[in-house]
Chain A
Amino acid sequence: AQKITQTQPGMFVQEKEAVTLDCTYDTSDPSYGLFWYKQPSSGEMIFLIYQGSYDQQNATEGRYSLNFQKARKSANLVISASQLGDSAMYFCAMREGHNNDMRFGAGTRLTVKP
């Protein structure tokens, strides 16, 4: 069963604007972690941000923030002040507390326009 869903195959954003990349997840485990990774065309997966299921506040890392809505099982990534270098594939992933297997979504290709 698909545990991570990213419904936006591609997104466009104007440079310097903010963009939200959607991610919904499915789990019955009360303990889990949510992760976002960036994958440029070079292939390397770059860790961006982590949110734990018990965290009370939304995670932030520089221009990245995670809009965590636990009841809706969503963990959207917000990128503020987009830069041309933000153009890449973005993957949402989840680790359940009992599981070493990190599940990834299908990804969203973000293109930043000058």
Chain B
Amino acid sequence: DAGVTQSPTHLIKTRGQQVTLRCSPKSGHDTVSWYQQALGQGPQFIFQYYEEEERQRGNFPDRFSGHQFPNYSSELNVNALLLGDSALYLCASSLKVAVEQETQYFGPGTRLLVL
């Protein structure tokens, strides 16, 4: 049973560039959430996708956008990269149930460095 997978594992970009991160959910899961984890901090919620729609968004600018495909996989796009976007980007998948019970399983993350 494959867990959550993310690609690429590491990425180096320069300011102003655009980046796309990819996530495949755990088998049987239909919901994907994205988090940004800066060094030394806990993850911060970016947004969640369910049924190919963005269901909720955290406090992130419009430069951060996403997509969910019919096979439940998801992409996170970040435009006009800033130095402060350097972080570990985590994807988590879950099966949509009662919200408070929904356990999210995380992938290994993508480490993005913006120079």
Taking beta carbons and an 8 Å cutoff, which residues of A are in contact with B?
4, 31-33, 35, 37, 42-47, 50, 52-53, 91, 93, 95-107
Contact = CB atoms under 8 A, between A and B. Distances in A.
Contacts, number: 70
B56 interface: yes
Given A43-B88, A100-B56, A37 B100 contact: no
Top 3 nearest A-B pairs by Cβ distance? Answer: A104-B42, A45-B106, A33-B100
Contacts of B105: 47
Nearest to B55: A100
Given A42-B108, A43-B109, A100-B33, A105 B99 contact: no
Contact of B108 (A44, A96, A99, A104): A44
A105 B88 CA distance: 16
Contacts of B100: 31-33, 52-53, 95-97
Given A97-B99, A100-B99, A101-B58, A43 B48 contact: no
B107 interface: yes
